[in-house]
């Protein structure tokens, strides 16, 4: 594998956004990663639009785009620095589908790395969920132990009260 094709995990994961409750990557970021112009990427997508249903790719709304721009501070100055069209967001499946419409070695290698990062992100979310479930189970056990300890103390209190309340027993046997 060519060393030029290797992208860092950080580079890729920094370009994964959470929009509409989905992990997505934007067309301009993907174009940079693939080493092509954003315009060319979008041309290929439009030529093969049937490969990109709504759950694979969607176009951001004006509000989503403005919110995202303010978060990542991408305002550039100068002529031609601003987009004419709203960006496309590609879900994990959409990014995978891009490899079938972009036929370069760099696109294939980049896609492999992106899929690995998406898999790691998914695994991290699963691990986090499992940890949260484990914590909830531990909390429930601790609550039950607290209740059990209270019960033991209440039984001990009852026993000590009974012992204090006991009447002296009458002695059986010979009296002197």
| pLDDT tens digit sequence for 63-112 | 888 887 766 655 454 445 556 789 999 998 888 888 778 877 777 778 77
Highest-pLDDT range among 28-37, 155-164, 167-176: 28-37
Give the max Cα distance, the chain.
121
- Is this structure's pTM higher than 0.85? no
3-75+82-124 CATH fold: Mlu1-box Binding Protein; DNA-binding Domain (3.10.260)
Confidence of residue 131 (pLDDT cuts 50, 70, 90): confident
pLDDT in the model for residue 90: 93
pLDDT digits (tens, 9 = 90+) for 35-67: 888 898 999 999 999 999 999 999 999 988 888
The closest alpha carbon to 107, from 49, 46, 55, 40, belongs to 40
Confidence of residue 173 (pLDDT cuts 50, 70, 90): confident
Confidence of residue 4 (pLDDT cuts 50, 70, 90): very low
């Amino acid at each position: 594998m060519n060393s030029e094709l290797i992208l860092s995990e950080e580079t890729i994961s920094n370009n994964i956004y959470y929009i509409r409750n989905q992990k997505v990557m934007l067309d301009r970021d993907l174009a940079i990663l693939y080493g092509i112009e954003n315009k060319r990427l979008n041309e290929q997508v439009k030529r093969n639009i049937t490969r990109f249903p709504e759950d694979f790719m969607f176009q951001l709304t004006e509000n989503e785009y403005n919110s995202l721009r303010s978060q990542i501070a991408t305002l550039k100055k100068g002529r031609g620095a601003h987009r004419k069209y709203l960006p496309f967001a590609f879900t994990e499946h959409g990014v995978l589908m891009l490899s079938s419409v972009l036929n370069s070695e760099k696109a294939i290698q980049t896609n492999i790395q992106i899929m690995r990062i998406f898999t790691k992100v998914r695994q991290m979310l699963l691990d986090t969920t499992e940890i949260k479930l484990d914590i909830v189970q531990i909390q429930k056990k601790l609550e039950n132990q607290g209740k059990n300890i209270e019960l033991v103390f209440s039984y001990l209190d009852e026993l000590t009260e009974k012992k204090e309340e006991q009447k002296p027993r009458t002695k059986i046997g010979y009296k002197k």
